[in-house]
């Protein structure tokens, strides 16, 4: 289990809403903090991957389950 500072449950939301929820959470976080995001949108890993790479954040862990995806992202 990874320690995290903020949790965002984007279950049931489709693109671009999970990404927008992630961006909103990151705005209120300090550098080095970790956000846990739960998403059911099958394309979320693509959106989050591109966004974190471009913004300089780090996906610490990505867990793909049958019904959802869980991301742990460290703010740069």
pLDDT digits (tens, 9 = 90+) for 30-58: 999 999 999 999 999 999 999 999 999 99
Report angle CA 30, 68, 75 to the nearest 5 degrees. 15
Residue 21: name the closest of 34, 8, 40 by CA.
8
pTM higher than 0.85, yes or no?
yes
Say which CATH superfamily domain 6-74 falls into. Answer: TusA-like domain (3.30.110.40)
- Please tell me which residue in 6, 13, 15, 29 is annotated as part of the active site: 15
Neighbour tally for 19: CB within 10 Å: 21
pLDDT digits (tens, 9 = 90+) for 1-31: 799 999 999 999 999 999 999 999 999 999 9
- Please report the pLDDT score of residue 1 as a whole number: 77
For the chain, give every domain's residue range: 6-74
- Please report the pLDDT score of residue 38 as a whole number: 98
Q: Is 53 a catalytic residue?
A: no
- For residues 33 and 21, give the distance between their C-alpha atoms in angstroms, rounded to a whole number: 16
Question: Euclidean distance between the first and final Cα of the chain, in Å?
Answer: 21
């Amino acid at each position: 289990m990874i320690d995290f500072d903020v949790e965002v449950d984007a279950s049931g939301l489709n693109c671009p809403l999970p990404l927008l929820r992630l961006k909103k959470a990151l705005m209120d976080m300090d550098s080095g903090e970790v956000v846990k995001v739960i998403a059911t949108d099958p394309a979320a890993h693509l959106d989050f991957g591109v966004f974190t790479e471009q913004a300089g954040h780090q996906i610490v862990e990505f867990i793909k389950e049958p019904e959802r995806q869980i991301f742990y992202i460290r703010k740069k």
